[in-house]
Amino acid sequence: MHRLAQRALGLVDAWYYRRYKLKTLGPVLFIGRTHYRGPELKFEDGTLLRDNDVIGRLHFNNASIAALGEGSMHRVGFRFAKLMRESLRKLAEAAHNDPSLADVRVFQGTTWIPAHGEVVGFVSTPMPKTWKTRLLSAHFKMLMWVFAPAARIRNREQAEPRLYWLTREALSRNLDKLKVG
């Protein structure tokens, strides 16, 4: 059953990648461009995000994360952290060199993974409770069921969607913390 669900989610991911014209950023991230829709946000570093500004939309590469395999929660977490640092370094390179990201001052993603990104500049905010959020929560629960390395991890995690924000300034300022080693 898990293999069938993994295959189905893999097809959804492939469709999503094509539909939103995502680019691969290292082993665990994809990026796309979209327009921010919402109230004006001012980040700690002074970056101002206004309605209709272009943002870099970050997405996890679920197949790559699933390939982390089984093991202790700490071992899988360590492997994921290493791959995430590598992907964030690729994001920093792309932010600096890719002309399609020249106008992007803020990157944003959605996940259920608890806040661990503060060290590299991520800011996490809860998503408002709407029907879309409940649907996303159900999707996250499915992802955990399919991809979580152990039942004890799945049972511990909450599938509450959160927005993660990272300014270009914070990414640049924390680049040394992203060394892969």
Q: Output DSSP code: residue 46.
A: S
Using the Cα atoms of residue 129, residue 135, residue 140 and residue 144 in order, give the sign of their dihedral: positive
Kindly provide the b/e burial profile for residues 97-131, where b requires at least 16 CB atoms within 10 angstroms of the residue's own CB. Answer: eeeebeebbbbbbbbbbeeebeebbbbeeeeeeee
**C-alpha span between 13 and 63 (Å, rounded):** 8
- The answer to whether the pTM exceeds 0.85 is no
Name the band, by pLDDT with cuts 50, 70 and 90, for residue 158.
low
43 or 144, higher pLDDT: 43
Phi-psi domain of 121 (left: phi exceeds 0; alpha: psi -120 through 50; beta: other): left
55 or 28, higher pLDDT: 55
Whole-angstrom CA distances from 76 to 57, 72, 99, 102, 175 are 25, 6, 35, 34, 23
Q: Given a cut of 80, is residue 51 above it in pLDDT?
A: yes
Strand residues in the chain grouped as ranges (E): 23-25, 29-35, 41-42, 48-49, 54-60, 106-111, 123-126, 162-167
**C-alpha span between 137 and 143 (Å, rounded):** 10
CB-based contact 170:45 (threshold 8 Å): yes
Q: Out of 2-6, 60-64, 71-75, which region has the weakest mean confidence (pLDDT)?
A: 71-75
Q: What is the mean pLDDT of residues 53-62?
A: 90
Q: What is the mean pLDDT of residues 148-173?
A: 71
Q: What is the mean pLDDT of residues 33-43?
A: 94
Phi then psi for residue 78, to 5 deg, are -65, -45
For 25-35, write each residue's pLDDT tens digit. 988 899 999 99
Name the band, by pLDDT with cuts 50, 70 and 90, for residue 154.
very low
Name the band, by pLDDT with cuts 50, 70 and 90, for residue 8.
confident
